[in-house]
Amino acid sequence: MSGTELPEVLDASDLTPDVETYDVVVVGFGISGGCAALEAARSGARVLLLERAAVHGGTSAMSGGAFYLGGGTAVQAATGHDDSVEEMVNYLTAVSRDPDAEKIRAYCEGSVEHFGWLEALGFEFERSYYEKKAVIQPGTEGLMYTGNEKVHPFNTAAVPAPRGHKVPVAGDTEGTKLVMDLLRDRLADEGVEVRYETGANGLVVEDGAVVGVRWKKFAETGLVRCRAVVLAAGGFVMNKDMVATFTPNLAEKPFVLGTTYDDGLGIRLGESVGGATAFMEEAFITAPFYPPSRLVKGIVVNKEGKRFVAEDSYHARTSSFVMDQPDHAAYLIVDSDHIEHPAFPLAPFIDGWETVEEMEAGLGLPTGSLVATLSAYNEHAARGEDPELHKQPEWLAPQDQGPWGAFDLTLGKALYAGFTMGGLVTDADGRVRREDGATITGLYAAGACASNIAQDAKGYSTGTQLGEGSFFGRRAGRHAARTAAS
């Protein structure tokens, strides 16, 4: 579904005396909506959960099963990795474009408790550590580095610690599916009514407060009265008009991370009653060139033959810097001692050359540019240094053994994937704010519908969306239940 038009707003006079009534209505059954509904029900609210798809899960079910958690979780302690609330706060503050101190503090201080809440759903994170550099952790180990914690300049702002907690199921998406199935079962235990193939397409207001929703199931429509609505209906990556307006780079690549229903309707519902938005122009976009991790020891250059990002950065950070380069063009250069062809190459191999001069000409780079860049890099790497971009010593190695090969990281050549990061402005309890900062009574947002602590792909860490979606979804559910009871 495309378009940027805002949904119709209904008046409370449309709610007849015999209309269905619930305390809290949650829109969307991904990780944030499921957690919001469960916490609202456990807080005593009568909850209705609407999901447009025929099954639960949403885009959450497509993720790699990692939750970004820290501050001293049981897995961190068991694997010998010290972490603290303050160091986690320092790190998330450093990687945020416009840090929301209240949200970051709440997330970090509540992280260990949230870890326990997740395990209480019915699984346990494996008390083990995966030490390699990977995009999606292939095994069942419970902990790995999933962001830029060890990357300059963030390693100077906070003591690095691994915080990516992987659900103990091998495979790309099976771990999140396990969590979503457990959420479904816990919701059934609490008597939450879930209606599939049913979405919300309008909010009902009274004196500026949200007091109901209009739902649609195929050709059938109806109204529900409630005291609070939690919007958790995903981002807008499937809405070509919103993408063209806010995140045009996402329109230039062949693959997006989302479901059919990531069309921005939840965000537009919030806007229809005065909700403000933030970071709508921000998009997670990536074409990882690792694994194999040995490729990280190569160098990434733009069409001017110059390095522009430390190659040991988190893959989306590297890709985001590629988007800033002329023509979104970049190349990974690796010598014969370090080259290895990925089993699933997202960045295609271009060719190999016997000399750096031939490679420079073959890639169409300015004469002498790559020769100078590679010479300087090799000289410093031989001493375990990178004064230009501060790549960490474990990833430094001279690229001086010919022949040399190049992989294409250029947008349109590499297989980029992405999702949107902007959404409704909320406070730490998920209450949707207006442009003037005032909250809209009865309206909440969580997950990809909201603008949370993940604001910028240059500082994103795998697991943040599942982590903050579930955490702030819980807070929204609890507060919505208190609103309904007041």
DSSP secondary structure code for residue 365 in this structure: P
Which residue ranges in the chain fall short of pLDDT 70? 1, 171-173, 253-254
Task: Judge whether 447 lies within some domain.
Answer: yes
CA 175 to chain centre: 16
The answer to whether residue 2 is domain-embedded is no
In the chain, DSSP finds a helix count (H) and a strand count (E) of 13, 23
Q: Compute CA 435 distance to the chain's CA centroid, rounded to the nearest angstrom.
A: 24
- Rounded CA gap, 304 and 365, in Å? 6
Total domain count, the chain: 3
Place of tokens 């909320």: 426
Q: Are residues 245 and 222 part of one domain?
A: yes
Residue 159, in any domain of the structure:
yes
Q: Which H or E run includes 407?
A: strand 404-408
Q: Please, are residues 470 and 452 in contact by the beta-carbon 8 Å criterion?
A: no
- Here the CATH number for the domain that contains residue 390 is 3.90.700.10
How many other CB atoms are there within 10 angstroms of residue 263's CB atom?
24
Q: What is the pLDDT of residue 172?
A: 63
Given 367, 391, 408, which residue is the final one in a domain?
408
Tell whether 42 and 178 lie within a shared domain: yes
Residues 54 and 182 in one domain: yes
Last residue in a domain, options 109, 136, 166: 166
CA–CA separation, 34 vs 477, rounded Å?
9
CA 360 to chain CA mean position, Å: 36
Residue 1 resides in a domain: no
Under DSSP, the state recorded for 8 is: P
Residue 342 to residue 345: CA distance in whole angstroms:
5
Chosen domain end from 138, 166, 194: 166
H helices within 134-254, ranges in order? 154-157, 174-189, 240-246
In a domain, 240, yes or no: yes
**Residue 426 β-bridge partners:** 432
**Domain enclosing residue 111, as ranges:** 66-166
- Only one residue has tokens 């958790």, namely 232
Residues 455 and 471 in one domain: yes
Shared domain for 295 and 397, answered yes or no, is yes
**So what's the pLDDT on residue 193?**
98
Structure tokens at 318: 């590297």
Give, in order, the Cα–Cα distances in Å from 130 to each of 133, 293, 391. Answer: 8, 13, 21
Chain center to CA of 449: 12
* 321 in the same domain as 398: yes
455 vs 461: CA distance, rounded Å: 11
pLDDT of residue 171: 66
Longest dimension (CA), the chain: 81
Q: What is the mean pLDDT of the chain?
A: 94
Same domain, 146 and 211: no
Q: CA 283, CA 407: separation in Å to the nearest integer?
A: 23
Q: Is residue 435 located within the same domain as residue 393?
A: no
Reported pTM: 0.95
Same domain, 57 and 185: yes
Question: For residue 352, is it within any domain?
Answer: yes
Q: How many residues in the chain?
A: 486
47 is a domain residue: yes
Please indicate, yes or no, whether residues 382 and 307 belong to a single structural domain of this protein. yes
The span from the CA of 394 to the CA of 365, in Å, is 29
Asked if 422 contacts 279 with a C-beta cutoff of 8 angstroms, the reply is yes
Give tens-digit pLDDT for 288-312.
998 899 999 999 999 999 999 999 9
Whether 273 and 295 map to the same domain: the answer is no
